Amino acid sequence: MKIILDKIPKNVKIIEGFPGFGLIGTIVTEFLIEHLKPEMIGTFEYDEMPATVAIHDGKLINPMGVFYDKKNNLIIMHTILNSVGLEWNISKSVRSMAQNTECNEIICIEGVASPNSTENKKVFYFADDRTKEKVSKLPVEQLKESIIVGVTSALMLQKDVPVTCFFAETKTKIPDSKAAANIIKVLNEYLGLNVDVNPLLEQAEKFEKKFKNILKQSSMMNKKKEKRDLSYFG
């Protein structure tokens, strides 16, 4: 697996959001792409997963894309594919892209499970010493105890580039747009994006239904591939 870029901006920040708990990363990156109108500058090239595309409202959706927002010098990585089992490969590709673009910070977006049913969902952070002072000034709490899995955990273990993680508190495994909106509010303050979250809150049901259907179809495709691969040995 590797990331192919059509252009290589420099001194960027990278935001990654892969499907995870509450689909927070996927919803946040999708919403940022819709409202910042970044240019698509790259895609993932892979053999480890079946060839997949999604069609929504008659439009083709690239399942794994890399976008560049010139105004904020920001790369946004967006994917709707399940990355289970490919975390290290994806992390290696992201690190390679970070090196080529002289990235100064990788920002990871995730959901974190919460037993609370309150509507006032918190946002937590994890940051290494290079960004902790700046992040600690935001209206977020430090994540002190948790277990993180997926691409984010693999990126957290690398030391090449500062990694800052924002975790939205959510109590559900289904898409949670309200929790995602809380992350965008934090990104607005942290990066000066000035993205209006009201459309996300108003269209929460539409967003959640969209991603739930896409991921369901993606999961079915992966299961079919697994059965086909097993049949080769049967």
Q: Are 107 and 125 in contact (CB under 8 A)?
A: no
Crossing angle for the helix pair 177-191 and 24-36, nearest 10 degrees?
60
Domain ranges, ordered by start, for the chain: 2-223
Interatomic CA distance for residues 29 and 77, integer angstroms: 7
Residues 35-68: pLDDT tens digits?
A: 999 999 998 887 766 666 667 677 777 778 899 9
| pLDDT at res. 227 | 57
> For residue 190, what pLDDT is reported?
97
Which SS3 state, helix, strand or coil, does residue 147 take? coil
Q: What is the pTM of this model?
A: 0.83
The set of residues, in sequence order, having a beta carbon less than 8 Å from that of 149 and lying 6+ positions away, is 87
Residue 155 has pLDDT above 70, yes or no: yes
More confident residue, 146 or 103: 103
Decide yes or no: CATH 3.40.50.10900 for domain 2-223.
Answer: yes
